[in-house]
Structure 1
């Protein structure tokens, strides 16, 4: 290699690594860093410039603006001449048979959220996103594709999307059918989330710096009863349970009037320990450019996100609030060693530092749900932490005086690939090889400590108050424990051929993959595959694609480790037919496509389950009485026949565009049959043989649905606008489930949607004793007025488990998204809506749930005021109150299954790019200021809770964000 280019690569790698290792980089340092990078001499050498075509700076600026506007206003638009990502390559959309959809990375940048997964709401048909916990650093959402969890692949390598930031992303695609994922054989049955990162280009150096700052707000924090209402309703709950009330009239008066906040407190714990807002900021710097010999993209990103807990610097010299900081780095470099040889090197790294109080965030939010406002004062009269024998953990103390627990997470990876054209042997022939290394390390540090609470004791003779100490102020712990130490080595070699002869185009690829992954101290798990893909088209009319993989997995026994997974696809570009010529000016493209194939997944294979294992223990189902406790216990029985779970996947689709591609449509129908699913037999055999049964390949599920996407875009002079919408209907059915024989057809899980909730069908409330006496008897319980009433489905006069059936909606889940925007000169605006229908959520917060003490207390929601009483029977929305779990009312029933449908204004962004002639004088090619928001409005039938997080976890968040983007 030319020494000049070697020097460039070394300098760029060294520069990027040094910045990546700067763990203590401060946010405010980035502007200075941007200025220094502007002056840093990373220009392409003169010798290289002479051999490359340079674009004038004015034209380049206009080109950048045009490209930026085009990307910003192109939402998942896949027109015929566009390249679309496929696994290990790209295809022209006109030749695409696979079922896929793509969103550009530019579009995702308008979402002010640190998690890439949270940017995908409503963006891609078939992809369903839901988030139920927003704990910092652990807030990645659950993502499903056609009812299953997709494999995440970044630049061809399976790895977590937590390793990248939005600025690094060129595009994200969902690959949905067997044809598109076939090359991954045994790992691809659940579809694929394919992420492609940005790379350099033959263009002058471009430096982009983005700084943004946001304010976070929690959505729908639980609303609890104040002390007076709590005490009043708690007395009522005790009376309903046949127990004496514990609060006197004088107590209720003191709670109501607040005359003695120390003996009769009314503490809104949510307001006392949680702040109304919390900051979040992100700084990004990237460089992109190159020549016809060397191309580069370097990205540095810093994220700082603060939690909502109050702090007290006068007590602690360390941070007790929960927080999350992320430092990430990526360098993608492509070098043409010769005219036929290209070397690519990608380095990426990520540092994630988290912190939380010693008592942990999960424990604090859990305690919020079980601590009533009258439990104890925040501080006693003498300034000590309040508490008592029922509540020995003061919430303020948990937040401030419990120490802290930092955690560190490191992810480092490198990809090296070499591509060699072999035209000298056969025109269109090429070979390439790649190897990737990825390491992941996580360590949790415990620096927590205990603290004492104090309960006032009044001497009845002297009326003096003393304080009983509960617990103690312990010393601070200082320990650490690595929780993850993972390594991955991924290698790939492929031989390809691409040739057009007259109207015939041939494209073939032979691929070998080896993926070795080590999780902690476990033995490595290795997938190996020999696969191939063949594409043929005649005159862009008739399309054929064959793809297959012969893949093996070392977690199965020798002789049963390998499987063959073929797929086939056909396509017909109707618009290219001669009989369609008269319509060509109106209908620009019209294509039918279909695919069918066999895929599989080994995600549930377990740890060598074909081998019998034994664990240390001191119990045996059968043993010699003389044996000591130093014995080996038999673990779950081995399954020597365990194998991969399989799927037969069928897809048929239509792609069309009209009116000069201003309007486009894509539609898909799929039917995926999963079989050999691993399940444990639901028989009593384990009780007979005295061992736990192993999972076996016997389950069958079916997933089917329809996906539609429609878009319109146009430009009138300087005014550009677009709107797109997508909707997905997703249905599932249990075809076979090894369930026991049941008395009634409605009891069977087989034939119902996968994961369907079963329970009793609620039929209102018992309003009087006559209804109780004349109705069916409840097995093991005597109802009283105000209890839930259930339907006797088998009409045997008894309410028992034989009356449980599918509850809630069994219709296909419908989820959708709408994205639109405008761009006029320098002003741009965009929005994203997403929503769901036919979605069930189970919401049963038990009021006055015990905290563990005898006859314990618990928190209660404001909705308790709508409980059943004799006076409110006609309008009551909830059953009568009880202390703790009522054995009848807390049963799983349709009463607690709520309609979880919602429509959310997920994202809005408005920006303005200053005129080019104004910013040239200060050395910029583009300067854009912007503001965006996340989760701004939500329409839902649920009252007092967020439709995604519900209650119990860290609440959902609304974010208002402001930023500036500079290019020079």
Structure 2
């Protein structure tokens, strides 16, 4: 069997030979005593970074944007600052074509949006190293580049399939020291909170639901009257739990200090950042410990570049981050679940004697959960150290260089348990009779334990050899490298990704462009013989505007570039932990023998697959770039087609129940992703008036080409051929309006309908509604997502805004936030909301917007169907910022360089067809937030 090195040698040799013959420079970050190819009149010396907005950070280097063939998008750090959010991901909404974000979690410290590049979750690379998480301060960011096609991600081989988000942090410069201090304070407000019914309406509807279910009502007319008048707040409570345990608003503060500067020998950038985000839970002054949820973050970064010699550059980066969180002992998620399952009439907050109220059906007093269940602090510590050394070898060959990089990253998470139990008391007050008080639960001692929830280490090494130069109108650049990325998760064996990678580019007069990239990459989680893979990619381009005949005819067009790329990339992220080895689990025990002896139960985990290998994607990208008027007006259009195969799936005809183990992952799936991305921008400066606008719109469609699904009788039942993640269900056809209507309609399998139930269409015409009548429901059109960024400045006043939106997006409404009276863990009936007032009754049959009410669920009405699948498109004013920079003549008296005051907002306006929920936070958990922020930036 060939060794990995021998298997690598032949493709690497031919790849490097081809690259040497046809290559172009990578617009090197550091050049020595020569002119920049992008800026021929600007001398560039060792350690100096070319003007960032005319070069684009790519994998393992930089390239001139005018000559770039890769499909990319870039946003710069000054566009991200002052947006009042806690994570970098949330600053990117609407800014980059091809990047789609959804914010499902909104809790402090865990509110980063999920990111997808062309329908796939990308690899995140920070300063050239794949790292975990992007919880960094935007003040540290120089740029964020997304690499979308195979050419841009090929050098990561079997980790490049989903695209790459490349974060580049700021460095120092040779010049006067600059000190910048920014202070911000914000107010967070909940948006689209649930509208629960008051106790009187709740009890009335609950009685009605019991009658609908053929049961007797439980609330008397006297009960209803007491709730209507509020005459008996202890015996007939009416508690708005949402507003009882949650505040209307919460604070957030951020302070940042950074210093940058340097000289011809050394340059530095130092950043210190503090963030404090508070939660909405109420607190009790008597507690000596915090019970509110909050998130505090402390960040330190220093980037230092030193010219050890005229040809040797050393760069050192140190990044430290401390994240401290807290939540009540009962946990944030549990509290929100209980709010959704505790009606206003369940119990009062307190009894007459000040004790916490409750009963056998509601043993967790929500107020007690928030304020008297102790607390749970969490601690996270990250440390990253990067050291690189770049040596130019011009004495050997002009433009030749070698670079080495080592990086160490550590991640440590610890959770403390300071929770405690509390008792609730059921008080029965009977006139003329002794009051009966029943105690439920215990007032326990506070716990005192801790656990390490994760402890990870990453060691990354890289060695790169490159060459870039210019010969007249010919520009070439070649880079070959080897990297090894070892990631250890706790006590597990390390996950090792490594690769021999190379890239070469050539352009003639910035007119004819060629780029080749490849990787021969490795992952140790697969079996021997399945660990190495070869991933090539190629790109071609033609800048028609550089042709003499075109530039003479249309001199105003500086760029008219046609480009295309095609390549193979892979994905090993879903492989898991040594999937080719058979593992066994232990759980519980069983008795054997006589007399019986207890023995541990050992059983097979998912079956192993020694043939499992990485997923593959063949990606094609075609683009057109246009720039006119000295790049004032820019336009890009891209079409992409991704053919994915060898996707890891389990067979749908799963015989795991018979085998006693889950079937293994296999490389059997096939999918297609295709789309169109359009982006345009315009900027202008007229004296003191400057303005700009840039927008993007994306059309994306995915399709399941093959999956081993169970045998389905009809074509409309099949998942194959549908969009990835497509919702399936019945087609609702109004409500049954009468008994005769129910009897004369197709029968429901396993259910006898009554008037007010949801009626469904019989798609196969067999007279029965069952799984064979389920089809794809919701939008069947391409997902559209778009963004518009615009701004204007005049005489020190500036205004910037971002609009962001989504169309053809469907969600399935379900659970306690949608359905009525869903019981809690102890069997008590859950909440009801204002939209339940539109339920079907004989009197409202013509206008009803909700089916008849039931207690504890209804298997017919709560089936997934078009009744519950809603259009979740929306348009948001995602962020708005207004600032004023004081005139220089004012601040010079204070010996300051500049002073800018600003106000900014986040999620200020939302337009959506959803009438009662936020389009991203729609299942009733932690609410989405509107943030209003005020700040000042002072520079020395």
1:99 aligns with 2:71: yes
Cα offset for 1:616? 2.5
- CA distance in 2 between counterparts of 1:413 and 1:317 reads 35
Question: 1:442: Cα distance to partner?
Answer: 0.3
In the alignment, which residue of structure 2 is the partner of 1:610?
580
Residue 166 (str. 1) matches residue 145 (str. 2): no
Aligned to 1:818: 788
Select 1:881's aligned residue among 846, 853, 856. 853
- Is 1:848 the counterpart of 2:821 in the alignment? yes
SS in 2 for 1:630: strand
Give the alignment of 1:742-821 within 5 angstroms.
Answer: 742-821=712-791
Which residue does 2:408 correspond to in 1? 437
Q: 1:882 to 1:176 in 2, by over 3 A?
A: same
Matched, 1:83 2:55: yes
- How far residue 623 of structure 1 moved from its aligned partner, in angstroms, is 13
CA deviation vs aligned residue, 1:577-636 (integer Å, no higher than 9, x gap): 011022443212110110000000100111111111222346799999999623532222
* Deviation readout 1:846-882 (Å, 9 max, x if unpaired): 210011335x311011100011111111111110100
Deviations 1:437-457 (A, max 9, x none): 000000010000011111112
Task: Tell me the secondary structure at the aligned position of residue 295 of structure 2.
Answer: strand
Q: Does 2:444 correspond to 1:451?
A: no
Question: Distance in 1 between the 2:835 and 2:380 partners?
Answer: 41
Partner of 1:13 in structure 2?
none
CA distance in 2, matches of 1:361, 1:727: 37
**Stretch of structure 1 that moved more, 753-762 or 616-625:** 616-625
- In structure 2, the CA distance between the partners of 1:796 and 1:484, relative to structure 1 (3 Å rule), is same
Helix, strand or coil at the partner of 1:367:
helix
Mapping of 1:16-415 within 5 angstroms? 82-314=54-286, 316-415=287-386
Distance 1:230 1:859 in 2: 8
Give the counterpart of 1:922 among 881, 894, 912: 894
Aligned partner (choices 724, 728, 743) of residue 694 of structure 2: 724
3-state SS of paired residue (1:629): strand
**In 2, are the aligned partners of 1:163 and 1:349 still within 8 Å (CA)?**
no
Identify if the C-alpha distance between structure 1 residues 497 and 177 changes in structure 2 by more than 3 Å, giving closer, same or farther.
same
- Contact 1:585–1:659, Cα closer than 8 Å, also in 2: no
How far residue 907 of structure 1 moved from its aligned partner, in angstroms, is 0.5
Alignment partners' CA distance in 2, 1:80 and 1:297: 16
The CA deviation string for residues 6-36 of structure 1, in whole angstroms up to 9 with x for no partner, is: xxxxxxxxxxxxxxxxxxxxxxxxxxxxxxx
Number of paired residues?
889
Cα contact 1:914–1:926 (8 A) shared by 2: yes
Which is further off, 630-639 or 906-915? 630-639
Shift of the 302–248 alpha-carbon distance from structure 1 to 2, 3 Å rule, reads same
Within the candidate set 672, 693, 697, 1:702 is matched to: 672
Cα distance change of structure 1 residues 624 and 955 upon mapping to structure 2, 3 Å threshold: farther
Would you say the 8 A contact 1:282–1:304 is kept in 2? Answer: yes
Deviation at residue 162 of structure 1 after TM alignment = 3.1
Tell me the SS of whatever aligns to 1:337. Answer: strand
C-alpha distance in 1 between matches for 2:215 and 2:615? 55
Deviations 1:740-762 (A, max 9, x none): 22111111100000010111111
- Seen in structure 2, the aligned counterparts of structure 1 residues 168 and 80 have a Cα distance that, compared at 3 Å, is closer
Match of 2:549 in 1: 579
User: 2 CA distance for matches of 1:449 and 1:691?
Assistant: 39
Question: How much has 1:179 moved relative to structure 2?
Answer: 0.3
Q: How far is 1:637 from its partner?
A: 1.4
In 1, the alpha carbon distance for the partners of 2:908 and 2:239 equals: 29
In 2, Cα distance between the equivalents of 1:143 and 1:243? 49
TM-score (norm 2): 0.93
**Superposition map of 1:622-633 within 5 A:** 629-630=599-600, 632-633=602-603
Q: 2:13 maps to what in 1?
A: none
Q: CA 1:929/1:624 → structure 2, altered by over 3 Å: closer, same or farther?
A: farther
Please list the CA deviations of residues 230-271 of structure 1 after superposition, one character each: whole Å capped at 9, or x if unmatched.
000000000000010000000000000000000001111111
CA distance in 1, matches of 2:451, 2:887: 54
Q: Structure 1 residues 624, 682: CA separation in 2 closer, same or farther (over 3 Å shift)?
A: farther
Q: Aligned partners of 1:625 and 1:342: how far apart in 2?
A: 76
Q: Give the match's secondary structure for 2:282.
A: coil
Q: Distance in 2 between matches of 1:105 and 1:79?
A: 14
Matches of 1:458 and 1:368, distance apart in 2: 26
Classify 1:829/1:786 alpha carbon distance in 2 versus 1 (closer, same or farther; 3 Å): same
Aligned to 2:356, the other structure's residue is in SS state: coil
Which structure 2 residues correspond to residues 590-609 of structure 1 after superposition, within 5 A?
590-609=560-579
The alignment partner of 2:640 has SS state of strand
Asked if the contact 1:617/1:629 (under 8 Å) is kept, the reply is no
- Once residues 846 and 51 of structure 2 are traced to their aligned partners in structure 1, the CA distance between those partners, rounded to angstroms, is 59
For residues 384 and 952 of structure 1, what CA distance do their matches in structure 2 show?
29
Comparing 804-813 with 620-629, greater Cα deviation is found at 620-629
- Mapped to 1, the partners of 2:794 and 2:338 lie a distance apart of 51
Question: Which blocks of at least 5 consecutive residues in structure 2 are unaligned?
Answer: 1-32, 34-49
**Alignment check: 8 A CA contact 1:618 1:633 kept:** no
Root mean square deviation, CA, Å: 1.8
2:461 corresponds to: 491
The 3-state SS of whatever aligns with 1:180 is helix
Which of residues 471, 478, 481 is equivalent to 1:508? 478
| Secondary structure in 2 matching 1:894 | coil
How far is 1:227 from its partner? 0.4
- Structure 1: gaps of 5 or more residues: 1-51, 53-77
Alpha-carbon distance, 1:926 to partner: 0.5
For the pair 1:533 / 2:503, whether they are aligned, the reply is: yes
CA distance in 1, matches of 2:620, 2:586: 48
Deviations, residues 63-90 of structure 1 (Å, cap 9, x unaligned): xxxxxxxxxxxxxxx9998111111111
Q: Is the alpha carbon distance of 1:879 and 1:580 closer, same or farther for their aligned partners in structure 2, counting shifts above 3 Å?
A: same
SS at match of 2:205: helix
Instruction: Name the residue aligned to 1:428.
Output: 399
Partner of 2:704: 734
**Aligned mates of 2:123, 2:412 — CA distance in 1:** 21
**Superposition TM-score, scaled by structure 1 size:** 0.90
Distance across 2 between alignment mates of 1:626 and 1:587: 88
Residues of 2 paired with 1:731 and 1:549: CA distance? 28
User: Secondary structure at 1:308's aligned position in 2?
Assistant: coil
Note if contact 1:79-1:657 (Cα within 8 Å) is conserved in structure 2.
no
Equivalent pair of 1:116/1:161 in contact (CA under 8 Å): no
Q: What is aligned with 1:667? A: 637
Instruction: Give the superposition deviation at 1:465.
Output: 2.1
In 2, Cα distance between equivalents of 1:635 and 1:623: 26
What is the alpha-carbon distance in structure 2 between the residues aligned to residue 519 and residue 366 of structure 1?
Answer: 31
Alignment partner of 2:874 out of 879, 902, 905: 902
State the Cα deviation string for residues 346-395 of structure 1 (Å, max 9, x = none): 00010000011101111111101000001100111121111111101111
Once residues 731 and 725 of structure 2 are traced to their aligned partners in structure 1, the CA distance between those partners, rounded to angstroms, is 18
Does the CA-based 8 Å contact 2:592-2:599 persist in structure 1? no
